[in-house]
């Protein structure tokens, strides 16, 4: 992170996965920088994963239920490729969509010199009431947990195929 990035945050959440592990020197660096700036760090061990992928496309009511009950959209905001997302799912789904732009609409463009306007658009996005397109492909934050493990290449291929098929069905 750049010094400007460090100066722009009040809290940092770091997920610690079994593999690949975050290198110890990087953990020490983040701890030092955060302490120096008075930034709270939350270290979260991730040895189980929420199984977000659906086996079939959700109905509108199911997607609305996922959206309304999902804790992820309230706690896992992110910025990727110039867009702010209330959830991490749209960026993931974009990798598999035949038209990734369909899921870009699940976020807000952040390149805006008018910071007041940008803040209002992000606020509206966070207060939205309609499910994101990616909600149709997701089980939400209350989905079942599985132990973290390396998938066999055939499992990866099957998962990718299923997501490609489902993502193509969201329009």
Average pLDDT over residues 38-64: 91
30 and 103 housed in the same domain = no
Residue 109 — very low, low, confident or very high, per pLDDT cuts 50/70/90?
very high
Report, as an integer, the average pLDDT of 108-121. 91
The pTM is what?
0.73
pLDDT in tens, 71-87: 999 888 989 899 999 99
User: Do 98 and 165 lie in a common domain?
Assistant: yes
Would you say residue 149 has pLDDT above 80? no
Q: Please name which of 133, 110, 105 lies closest in space to residue 121, comparing C-alpha atoms.
A: 110
> Does 107 share its domain with 151?
yes
Average pLDDT, integer, range 47-60: 89
At residue 169, the pLDDT reads 86
Q: Are residues 133 and 155 in the same domain?
A: yes
Residue 77 shares a structural domain with residue 128: yes
Enumerate residues 6+ apart whose C-beta is below 8 A from 39: 6, 9, 10, 11, 12, 33
Instruction: Return the structure tokens found at 154.
Output: 């055939």
Give yes or no: residues 113 and 98 share one domain: yes
Measuring CA to CA, which residue among 126, 95, 98 is closest to residue 106?
Answer: 126
Is residue 107 within 8 Å of residue 85, measured between CB atoms? yes
Nearest to 92 by CA among 134, 29, 126, 35: 134
Nearest in space to 139 (alpha carbons), one of 56, 76, 77, 17? 56
Residue 123 three-state SS: helix
- 100 and 24 share a domain? no
Residue 72 dihedral angles phi and psi, to the nearest 5°: -60, -40
Looking at residue 100, its pLDDT comes to 85
Q: Which domain holds residue 31?
A: 3-46
Q: Do 103 and 63 fall within a single domain?
A: yes
Length of the chain: 171
Confidence category of residue 145, pLDDT binned at 50, 70, 90: confident
Q: How many domains does the chain have?
A: 2
Residue 139 confidence (pLDDT) above 90: yes
**pLDDT over 90 at 120, yes or no:** yes
């Amino acid at each position: 992170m750049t010094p400007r990035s460090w100066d722009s945050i009040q809290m940092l959440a770091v997920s610690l996965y079994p593999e690949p592990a975050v290198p110890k020197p990087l953990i020490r660096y983040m701890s030092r920088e955060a302490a120096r700036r008075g930034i709270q760090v939350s270290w979260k061990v991730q040895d189980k994963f929420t199984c977000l992928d659906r086996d079939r496309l959700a109905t509108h009511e199911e997607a609305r239920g996922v959206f309304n009950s999902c804790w992820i959209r309230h706690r896992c905001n992110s910025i990727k490729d110039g867009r702010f997302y209330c959830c991490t799912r749209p960026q993931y789904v974009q990798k598999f969509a035949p038209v990734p732009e369909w899921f870009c609409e699940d976020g807000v463009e952040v390149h805006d010199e008018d910071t007041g306007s940008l803040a209002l658009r992000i606020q509206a996005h966070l207060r939205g009431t309609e499910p994101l397109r990616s909600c149709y492909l997701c089980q939400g934050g209350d989905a079942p947990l599985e132990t973290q493990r390396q998938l066999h290449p055939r499992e990866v291929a099957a998962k990718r195929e299923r997501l490609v098929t489902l993502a193509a069905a969201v329009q």
